[in-house]
Amino acid sequence: MDQNDQYKLRQVEKKEELLTLAARIKDNFPYCIQMYNTLLLNSRELSDFLQYEFYVPKYYPDSHIIIWRTLIERQGMSIYCTEGEMPLLIKVLKMSQFPSMIKETPVNIVFLLSYQVDPVTETLQGLLPKPLVNKPNLVYAYVTPQNHLLRCPAGMKVQRLGKAGIQKMLADNPYWKTLPLDLTCRLAENLPALGVYLDPDDVAEKVINPSDLSFAEPEATPIACICTNPYGAVSMVMTDDQYRRRGLATLLVEILGRLHLVEGYFPHANVLPDNDASDRMFRKLTGWEKLLLINRLISEQ
């Protein structure tokens, strides 16, 4: 075996092995949050429409190094390892088939951990003709689950998003602009995507059972919404201007966090540093804590 073969990657295709990898990294909380949820989603075939490919070092079967990429639209990619495995990871990035993988499309590496940033950036800059731009994100996680009753205001109801709700959410949010409507609808059929809808016939406040929410009518439009993104994170938290400051976003985040726990995911949200509204909301939420600063490396345009 020559030196390059020693660090070769192999593709993981069996759903059972994705579950095994998830179990292997689970105890490395909070650093494993993003990769763990992505593995779980794909082992359950809930994000397979994004055409994920997972890779691990072929000759290091006990390592925690995992690389995934998606093949639709602008390719996304993520790299996970423990801090002690950084020397092995750098050898894998340099000497496996990884260099040819990143030359196929513009680089878009998400969820890069703090201990990975400098060595991975330096390594990639040696492989690419263009500079990379680093965009940091804050990660909040639901680390102290709450059990208080959740109440919906009178004249409103909480439901799973229907097609019109998903269409509105995609149109109004400033970030996930490339998600196709049909694929987002498919994701929302299997993962929680919620909305607050007006219900003028219901004049009393009511207790919400998060595990017993019906789907809204396809044409119904919510006044507030939230969803689970393709990486298994809380995303697209939005409220119409005239209904803000009523606690609707907070309510939806609490419901979604509880549902993620029941389904075995790590409830978490990625917040851009300049998104002051989301940052303020998560800082005030009981049970949620700011745990990480993660990074995204993209090719300079």
- Encode pLDDT of 102-140 as tens digits: 886 778 899 999 999 999 999 998 888 888 899 999 999
Supply angle C-alpha 139, 143, 145, rounded to 5: 135
Residue 56 has pLDDT above 90, yes or no: yes
Whether the CB-CB separation of 255 and 267 falls below 8 Å is answered with no
Q: Residue 99: name the closest of 124, 69, 63 by CA.
A: 124
DSSP 174-197: SS-TT--HHHHHHHHHHS-EEEEE
Low-confidence winner among 45-59, 230-244, 260-274, 277-291 (lowest mean pLDDT): 45-59
Q: DSSP state, 299? A: E
Q: Give 266-280 pLDDT, tens digit per residue.
A: 999 999 888 888 899
Of residues 186 and 56, which shows the higher confidence score? 56
Provide the whole-model pTM: 0.92
Residues of the chain above pLDDT 90, percent: 71
CB atoms within 10 A of CB 34: 24
Domains of the chain: 3-139 (3.40.630), 150-285 (3.40.630.30)
Q: Report how far apart the first and last C-alpha atoms of the chain are (Å, whole number).
A: 39
The helix (run of H) or strand (run of E) holding residue 133 is strand 132-142
Q: Rounded to an integer, what distance in angstroms lies between the CA atom of residue 258 and that of residue 64?
A: 28
Residue 183 has pLDDT above 80, yes or no: no
* Location of structure tokens 């998600």: 179
Start-end of H helices in the chain: 3-6, 15-25, 33-43, 86-95, 98-102, 114-125, 163-172, 181-190, 248-262, 276-284
Residue 55 has pLDDT above 70, yes or no: yes
Q: Rounded to an integer, what distance in angstroms lies between the CA atom of residue 36 and that of residue 34?
A: 6
DSSP 112-131: E-HHHHHHHHHHHHTT-SS-
Q: Rounded to an integer, what distance in angstroms lies between the CA atom of residue 291 and that of residue 118?
A: 20
In this prediction, residue 2 has a pLDDT band, given cuts at 50, 70 and 90, of low
Q: Burial-class residue 165 by CB neighbours within 10 Å (0-12, 13-18, 19+).
A: buried
